[in-house]
Amino acid sequence: MSDDDFMQDSGDEAYDFEYEDEDEDDSGDIGIENKYYNAKQLKVDNPAEAVDEFLGIPALEQDKSEWGFKGIKQAIKLEFKLARYSDAVEHYRELLTYVRSAVTRNYSEKSINNMLDYIEKGSEDAQAYQCMEDFYSLTLESFQNTNNERLWLKTNIKLARLWLERKEYGQLSRKVRELHRACLKEDGSDDASKGTYLLELYALEIQMYAETKNNKRLKALYQRALRVRSAVPHPKIMGIIRECGGKMHMSEENWEEAQSDFFESFRNYDEAGSMQRIQVLKYLVLTMLMKSDINPFDSQETKPYKNDPRISAMTDLVDAYQRDDIHTYEAVLRKHPDVLADPFIAENIDEVSRNMRTKAVLKLIAPYTRFSLQFISKHIKIAVPEVLEILSFLILDKQLDAKIDQEKGTVAVTSSSDVDRLRALQEWSSSCGAYGRLRSMVTGSVPRKPPTGPLLLAQCSPPGSVTNCRWACEDPDDKDEGKAPRGKLASAS
């Protein structure tokens, strides 16, 4: 064999060997890829088996690669979904070892952020919250020496949000102060390049002060947040800030500013696709119950929601309130108890309800000089103790001059202006059709019992007149030994 033949044979052997080596590498990658996609097919029907498949991928790698990173990432999500929190934390620790070499910085940062968002949205109990806190701590520990300030800020803000949800205000305050320092320049002024993070921090603090009813600090931060001009924040962040601002204005009885903030909050939540827009729209409607005359459904943004069944209970309340219809108002609250599930709405509706019931009591007792607590309770459909509370308030507030006999359950009006009494009586009579009956009377005779109410005409002079009469009122529900006690006579001329 010649040297040339020998070299040629050797070259062929070398070529064949190299070809086989590359083929083995390719087949290895194909095997890993197949295992990954096979595991993905198992996710829906058999998630536990899918976890095992995903976790088997790193064992097939010669070096850490993107496939191992993706496999562990999928396994963690399934473990969290299956409430295997300790396994999820342990495998997240393993996942972070891939960040430095197996995947690019941008890809790893995006993946970690998405992972943390997934965990945050899926946390519903104490164990899940603890798992989420462990994830944040491991992330901060892993990235503290990588000079990745963006991921450090984002993760810390997520951790602060967790403490807000858990109402751990002490830890939240310390973390927010630390993050504020990270968003300052050397001269102590706000770093314009970190304006978006600043607004997120303001939103967290504002929510904390809103929950703790610290309106003084809330107002100062709210005004500072609105002065930030260097940021392009996520609309949800501005929705949060404006929502808290609206609640603050409501507590100050600044109805117009409250309505303006709630509208801006709704608009931002709507842009962000957040379901919180429905709740804020309820707050916007609530301002109409709090002495605001502006219709929130006049704008293009809110008009499509006017007949939304999730809003209908609030709009029905407004309609009943504006018509002074206490019975419809109470019926709406009974039919939709979920309206009061929101503490902010419940707090404000409670005040509106008291005002409605107080006005209804005044309107009902206007013609009477003597009545029973049970009479009011029956007509307005509220409990006797609440009737007593309302009457006591009216007496103390000097809106009613009367004495309450709690033993007998009766109330006697001690004095009143004849003119005011007649005006109230005429309004009451008009509502029940009494004037129609009076105009038909030409002899001055009095029916023994009026067909629609307790109004009795004592005598008119001249007969048929309705401007110079003496009136007597009685409460048909107040019986004493079979007789209905007559009220004091009120002169009208």
Per-residue pLDDT of 87-118, as tens digits, reads 999 999 999 988 877 788 888 889 998 999 99
Residue 275: DSSP 8-state: T
Range name among 1-15, 278-292, 358-372 with the lowest pLDDT average: 1-15
Q: In 3D, which of 344, 238, 361, 241 has the Cα closest to residue 287? A: 344
Mean per-residue pLDDT for 343-369? Answer: 89
pLDDT digits (tens, 9 = 90+) for 379-436: 988 899 999 999 999 999 888 889 999 889 999 988 655 446 555 655 655 555 544 4
Mean per-residue pLDDT for 198-211? Answer: 94
More confident residue, 443 or 240: 240
3-class secondary structure, 273: coil
pLDDT digits (tens, 9 = 90+) for 163-203: 998 899 999 999 999 999 888 888 877 788 888 899 999 99
Q: In 3D, which of 464, 469, 315 has the Cα closest to residue 455? A: 469
Binning pLDDT at 50, 70 and 90, where does residue 473 land?
Answer: very low
Look at residue 489 in the predicted model and tell me its pLDDT.
35
Look at residue 175 in the predicted model and tell me its pLDDT.
92
More confident residue, 476 or 69: 69
Pairs from 305-313 (Cβ < 8 Å, separation ≥ 24)? 305/278, 305/281, 308/278, 310/278, 311/278, 311/281, 311/282, 311/285, 313/338, 313/339
Percent of residues, the chain, with pLDDT higher than 70 = 77
More confident residue, 19 or 178: 178
Look at residue 420 in the predicted model and tell me its pLDDT.
60
Q: In 3D, which of 331, 329, 349, 352 has the Cα closest to residue 341? A: 349
More confident residue, 469 or 161: 161
Inter-CA distances, 234 with 134, 159, 231, 416, Å: 26, 18, 9, 61
What predicted TM-score, i.e. pTM, was given to this entire model? 0.69
Which amino acid does the sequence have at 144? Q
Inter-CA distances, 88 with 73, 80, 127, 274, 380, Å: 9, 6, 12, 28, 58
- CB environment 232-264: b (16+ within 10 A), e (fewer): ebbbbbbbbbbbbbbbbbbbeeebeebbbbbbb
Instruction: Please say whether the beta carbons of 80 and 61 come within 8 A.
Output: no
Cβ neighbors of 97 (< 8 A, separation 6 or more) are 64
CA distance 289 to 314: 9
Which amino acid does the sequence have at 123? S
Q: What is the length of the chain?
A: 493
CA distance 325 to 323: 5
Q: Where are the beta strands (DSSP E) in 10-49?
A: none
pLDDT surpassing 60 at residue 478: no
pLDDT surpassing 80 at residue 485: no
Instruction: Please say whether the beta carbons of 258 and 287 come within 8 A.
Output: yes
Phi, psi torsion values for 454, nearest 5 degrees: -90, 15
Query: 């004091």: which residue's tokens?
Result: 488
Instruction: Please say whether the beta carbons of 244 and 253 come within 8 A.
Output: no
Mean pLDDT of the residues in the chain:
79
Q: In 3D, which of 233, 235, 229, 204 has the Cα closest to residue 217? A: 204
Binning pLDDT at 50, 70 and 90, where does residue 124 land?
Answer: confident
**Paired residues of 492 in beta bridges:** 469
Look at residue 421 in the predicted model and tell me its pLDDT.
57
pLDDT digits (tens, 9 = 90+) for 309-347: 888 898 898 888 888 899 999 899 989 988 888 999 998
pLDDT surpassing 90 at residue 276: yes
Going along the chain from its start, the domains and CATH numbers come out as: 24-146 (1.25.40.10), 234-363 (1.25.40.570), 366-492 (1.10.10.10)
Instruction: Please say whether the beta carbons of 156 and 178 come within 8 A.
Output: yes
Sheet holding 490-492, edge to edge: 455-460, 469-473, 490-492
Query: 């007969």: which residue's tokens?
Result: 463
CA distance 162 to 128: 11
Percent of residues, the chain, with pLDDT higher than 90 = 36
pLDDT surpassing 70 at residue 143: yes
